[in-house]
Amino acid sequence: MILLTSETFICNCVESCFGFCGFMTGGIIPTVAQQLHRESIEVVVHEALERSGVTPSQLSAVATTVKPGLALSLGIGLAFSQKFVRKHNILFIPIHHMEAHALTIRMLQPVPFPFLVLLVSGGHSLLAVARGIDDFLLLGYMLDEAPGDTLDKVARRLSLTKHPDCSTLSGGQAIELLARSGDRRKFPFRTPMGRIYDCCFSFAGLRSQITMSIIKKEAEEGIEQGTLLSCVNDIAAGTQHTVAVHLAKRTHRAILFCKENGLLPSDNPILVVSGGVASNQYICKALTVITEKTGLRLLCPPPRFCTDNGVMIAWNGIERLKEGRGILSPSEDVCYEPKAPLGVDISAKVRAAGIRLPPVRMKILS
């Protein structure tokens, strides 16, 4: 939940519970995230108000994530927010989590609409054209699991919390760290969806490839699951590289589709990359290869704004408040939506275009 005033915003750090949960478990556990939300939300709101010297009567609105996301956590935030706005008679602004990720960059620098956005996180993966604060064209989306989820699950299967350098890291961070000293060529995993010419994403098949390789290496080394493999750095490198290449290729196709259909400006077109996985520097370098080839400018928020955070929800609320969009009275009922599409889905048009990619040498330095 975010508390907004006309000139300032106060961030409720409950969004950060997702990250804290990930550090402790190597990935997000919904029931743990829910409990952290329940235990933290009232204390954090009270502390935010106290530190800023703001009283509830001075607030212009409360903005809260209501979709999409973990149902258990959304429920805690929405229930608290509605109780708060009704008690203090404050306007309420329901926020789409992915819209907030997409627009965070506009808080940091002037970025005019339209622009292409790649959102990649532990729960989502999509490509869209942002044409306004609530106007998006969806080019592609995840078909099974998100890239961040894949990285977390691979890290968990490799028992990376037992690695001396990774005990305090999330799964994705552990993969990125170990991959720096690994040789990806020793585990050349197949890039997903190579013969499907659209902008959708699939990572479940890749994770199956990786799991089979881990099982094979465990048998070769004579160890049981839960013991660190000697080649763990190489598996991490191979995993990270294949995820990066898959994201880069789908983004490349999206850029070509946008250019063919005039969806981006010819002068200074922009690709914004956001979401927790956007903090992975190797993946950003892979995307830079594509933007340099296609003439786009790559923009990415700093890592602290890439992962789920309260500030991005506040900013989305501010943009909506300024334009008078999606603002509700405190008495209006709102339901949370664990699954919610972003904008107008034109992925079928992308698929029908059948754009084949020109060869690109993905030379990425760790």
> Which CATH number characterizes residue 280's domain?
3.30.420.40
- Asked whether residue 300 falls in the same domain as residue 312, the answer is no
Domain co-membership, 332 together with 246 = no
Helices marked H in 227-362 — which ranges? 232-260, 281-294, 303-306, 310-323, 347-353
The answer on 288 and 214 residing in a single domain is yes
Asked whether residue 156 is assigned to any structural domain, the reply reads yes
Based on the fold, state whether residues 80 and 198 are members of the same structural domain.
Answer: no
Stated length of the chain: 366
Q: 92 and 30, same structural domain?
A: yes
Structural domain contains residue 360: no
Residue 29 included in any domain: yes
Q: Are residues 319 and 247 in the same domain?
A: no
Residue 222 placed within a domain:
yes
- Shared domain check, 101 and 120: no
Q: Which two tokens mark 317? A: 């609320």
Residues 287 and 201 in one domain: yes
In the predicted model, is pLDDT for residue 366 greater than 70?
Answer: no
- Taking only the tens place, the pLDDT of each residue in 223-262 is 999 999 999 999 999 999 999 999 999 999 999 999 999 9
* DSSP labels, 194-213: TT--SS-B--HHHHHHHHHH
Name the residue with higher pLDDT: 25 or 54. Answer: 54
Let me know: does 239 contact 189? Beta carbons within 8 Å. Answer: yes
pLDDT tens-digit series, residues 64-121: 999 998 899 999 999 999 999 999 999 999 999 999 999 999 999 999 999 999 999 9
pLDDT of residue 4: 54
pLDDT digits (tens, 9 = 90+) for 339-361: 999 999 999 999 999 999 999 98
- On whether both 144 and 190 belong to a single domain, the answer is yes
Q: What is the pTM of this model?
A: 0.89
**Number of folded domains in the chain?**
2
Of the candidate ranges 84-98, 260-274, 313-327, 352-366, the one whose mean pLDDT is the lowest: 352-366
Q: Which residues contact 143 (CB under 8 A, 6 or more apart)?
A: 200, 201, 202
The answer on 69 and 100 residing in a single domain is: yes
pLDDT of res. 330: 96
Which of 70, 133, 145, 71 lies closest to 101 in space, CA to CA?
Answer: 133
* 289 pLDDT above the threshold of 50: yes
Q: What is the dihedral of CA 312, 298, 277, 257, to 10 degrees?
A: 100
Answer yes or no: is 177 within a domain.
yes
For residue 248, what are the CA distances in angstroms to 136, 202, 242, 274, 318?
Answer: 21, 13, 10, 14, 32
Residue 14 has pLDDT above 50, yes or no: no
Is residue 308 scored above 90 in pLDDT?
no
Domain that holds residue 235: 111-304+346-353
What pLDDT is recorded for position 307?
Answer: 85
Least confident of 10-14, 27-31, 120-124: 10-14
- The reply to whether 296 falls in a domain is yes
Minimum mean pLDDT among 13-22, 148-157, 193-202, 308-317: which range? 13-22
Q: Which residues pair with 140 in a beta bridge?
A: 127
Instruction: State the chain's mean pLDDT as an integer.
Output: 91
Q: Are residues 159 and 256 in the same domain?
A: yes
Residue 299 parent element (H or E): strand 297-299
Percent of the chain scored above 70 by pLDDT? 92
Neighbours of 43 (CB within 10 A): 10
The pLDDT, as a whole number, for residue 70 is 87
281 and 333 part of one domain: no
**Region 50-64 average pLDDT:** 93
Is 358 inside any structural domain?
A: no
* Residue 361 maps to a domain: no
